[in-house]
Amino acid sequence: MHIWFKSLLAFIAAALLVLVVAVGYALHWAAAPLDLQQPTVVTLVPGEAFSEFAERLATQGVLEHPQVWSLVARARGAARLAQAGEYEIAANDSPDDVLARLVRGDVVQYRVQLLEGWTTMQALAALRAHPVLHQELSGVDVTTLLAALGLPAGHAEGLFFPDTYLFVRGASDADILRRAYAEMQDLLQDAWAARAQGLPYATPYDALIAASLIEKETGRDADRPHISQVFATRLQQNMRLQTDPSVIYGLGSAFDGNLTRQHLRTDTPYNTYTRKGLPPTPIALPGAGSLAAALHPGDGDYLFFVSRGDGTSHFSRTLNEHNRAVTKYQLPAGKRRPREEN
């Protein structure tokens, strides 16, 4: 055998050995935990080359050997599958873990909560206060919000489903409200299609108004169907609803926390002591429980209810019985007056 051929074989063997060692090291390194003291959030920018991303992570001290990571990613076909976005790298993650997360698109998700019983303006305030959401809706109110969102014209109160919404960086307050609007529309239409017979509501919107009144009157699931029954019965008998939360909503900024007899006699479109029927719009964001109760009232012939002060309500069939309940549960604390029944 020629000496040059032996030399070539020796060179090839040495090269293969180096390659095997290099590949083994790369695989071992890629599977080992990163040396991070705490979770770190990084961003793969849309259109950014994976090698540039790797170099940037090395510059930020997130990982060593960016070239090795790029080679591993390319060899596995992961570099071209990595999805742009914001990612959290945990302290015990390995480069392999990070790569798998990039391919899955497990981006960082933030959350914002819209609470049952909030007004639309309270929901807007919560969205405006979120440090990540992009703000598009400055200066709007309940009369201009729908137009700003590109939704059908109207009054925006009560039209957004209260829930916890997850989103990624780059989402806006308008994005969240469009989702909340769509969710409320879907829920309302499904509930309306399955409604009980004989309800005093001509449209799904009427039911939404009633649900908002129920939402503001109680946070107790067991009481919602009974309050719904009271409202439905009073509407059917052409009685005024006489629900304090609607009066308070109509007072707006004039309400100082103390509802007086004068307030009850001050006529507004929302004063259900001076006007019969439903108020013109919802007064809050109703949850699924209140909407279900509005469309499926409980059995009974109650016409009145009053809070016991412990989260439950006392229901009465007659005004005299109701006034006795008010005296028992409310008047000592000066919280509410006997009804001035029509």
Q: Strand pairing partners for 86?
A: 43
Q: What is the pLDDT of residues 236-249, one digit of tens each?
A: 999 999 999 999 99
Kindly indicate the confidence band of residue 15, based on its pLDDT and cuts at 50, 70 and 90: very low
DSSP state of 134: B
- Give the mean pLDDT of 285-304: 96
Length of the chain, please? 342
CATH code given to domain 3-104: 3.30.1490.480
SS3 254: helix
So what's the pLDDT on residue 331? 66
For residue 280, count other CB atoms closer than 10 A to its CB: 14
Those residues with Cβ within 8 angstroms of residue 307's Cβ, 6 or more apart along the chain or in another chain: 218, 313, 314, 329, 330, 335, 336
pLDDT of residue 334: 47
pLDDT of 29 reads 66
The mean pLDDT value for 240-262 works out to: 92
Q: Is the pLDDT of residue 11 over 70?
A: no
Q: In which band, very low, low, confident or very high, does the pLDDT at 37 lie, cut at 50, 70 and 90? A: confident
Angle at 220 between CA 219 and CA 222, to 5 degrees: 150
Rounded distance between C-alpha atoms, residue 66 and residue 33, angstroms = 15
Question: What confidence tens digit (pLDDT) does each residue in 86-121 have?
Answer: 999 988 889 889 999 999 999 999 999 999 999 999
pLDDT recorded at residue 342:
47
Please give the pLDDT value at position 257: 86
Residues carrying CATH 3.30.1490.480, the chain: 3-104
Residue 163's pLDDT is what? 98
Residue 268 has pLDDT above 80, yes or no: yes
pLDDT per residue as tens digits for the range 180-215: 999 999 999 999 999 999 999 999 999 999 999 999
- Residues 270, 241 contacting (CB under 8 angstroms): no
SS3 content of the chain, % helix, strand, coil (to 5): 50, 10, 45
